[in-house]
Homo-oligomer: A and B are copies of this chain.
Amino acid sequence: MSIYNVILVAVDLSSEAHQLADKARELAAANNATLHLVHVIEPLSFAYGGDVPMDLSSIQDQLNEHAHNKLEHFSQQLQHPVTGQHVVSGHTETEIHRLADNLKADLIIVGSHGRHGLALLLGSTANGILHGAHCDVLAVRVYDTDENKDDA
């Protein structure tokens, strides 16, 4: 089949990323689709209200390098040609939507921990990506390493 031509995988670099990689590989292969990976680094200043009385640029550089390494590792796990590895800085949902538009992606794949209740209040990337996306969004249910799949 070729339902989707350009797939963008939002990678959050958690230990569950390999579950996402497995599904992304299967879908990309089945659709013979171009595959792009993205990881968004939210600037540290976002977390502290934008007014931080110290220079965070060296920490930001380290985060950037860490993200590039992790994305490269994810790319190797995929065992499928990756057309683009994108590490971008900014607001997660905004940057993923922007990149998806630029790449003319017709599917965004994101991991979902299936959290609800209190944990949901802490925010969900899958939920944020869903809203405002101009294309289909597949939330792949991933399980925490210490989570019992049957009880999840």
Contacts and interface: CB of A to CB of B under 8 A. Distances in A.
Contacts of A139: 130, 133, 136-139
A130 B135 contact: no
A1 interface: yes
Interface in A108-124: 112, 114-116, 120, 124
Contacts of A140: 136
B141 A138 contact: no
B116 A132 contact: yes
In the complex, which of the residues A124, A127, A135 has the most CB atoms of chain B within 10 Å of its own CB atom? A127
Interface residues of A, number: 28
Contacts of A138: 136-139
A137 B133 CA distance: 15
Contacts of A26: 1, 3
A54 interface: no
A67 to B, nearest CB: 25
A7 interface: no
Interface of A: 1, 3, 23, 26-27, 29-30, 112, 114-116, 120, 124, 126-127, 130-141, 152
